[in-house]
Amino acid sequence: MYLKRLTVPWAVKKKSHKYVVVPRGAHAGDKSVPLLVALRDMLGIVEKGDEAKKIIKAGKVLVDGKICKDYKRGIGLFDVLSFPEAGKHYRLIIKKKPKFIKISEEDSKVKLCRIIGKTILKKGKMQLNLHDGKNILVTEGDYSVNDSILLDVAQRTIKSSIKFGPGCAIMMKSGEVQKVKNIERGLHKKIILEGESETIFRDFIVVGTDEPIIKVNE
């Protein structure tokens, strides 16, 4: 399946080809970038799609610490792209449009994930459903929907967590990071930000307290 280049929300050359591949995977289509497009159009690692496919199929690209051989794999918010042979690492952020920022090898080992759901299981276990489609089983800890966890991408274990509430820092859909002053949970939930501005109760992710705990800007 393909999309017309003129309609996609990614930074691609609009006149080079008429169509681009559709991203597939856990991330929503309008909030993710196909791996092939990431390599060719956004990072400029290759010039042609066939070159991108060759690199990907050879297992030279890691997504969240694991080899990915699917050139249509959708890369979404805070996903980490690594090229071990070149020693380069990138994280996808959303600033009105998806954009990759260069990060260190150390930063590439972790990823912030928003908890979008949780399920209580038998024997005291709880399953956390994350924004990138991952599910994490835990036996202890205080986790709620809209909290964020700092995930070890290789081990898929939780290193730390950040509660959603007054005083936390959130990244909004625009890519701007602001601190939460208060939360109004009435009929229409609203997040009151410092400076008395407000935002709707969606399209945000907790990124820290005083400042983001991972690199989220260039």
174-203 tens-digit pLDDT: 888 999 999 988 778 889 998 878 888 878
Residue 115 has a pLDDT of 97
Q: What is the pLDDT of residues 114-128, one digit of tens each?
A: 999 999 998 889 999
| pTM of the predicted structure, to 2 decimals | 0.87
Q: Tell me the domain boundaries of the chain.
A: 2-105, 108-162, 169-208
Closest CA to 62 of 81, 44, 34, 43: 81
CATH fold for domain 108-162: OB fold (Dihydrolipoamide Acetyltransferase, E2P) (2.40.50)
DSSP of 44-101: -S-SSHHHHHHHHHTT--EETTEE---TTBEE-TT-EEEETTTTEEEEEEEESEEEEE
What does CATH list as the number for 2-105? Answer: 3.10.290.10
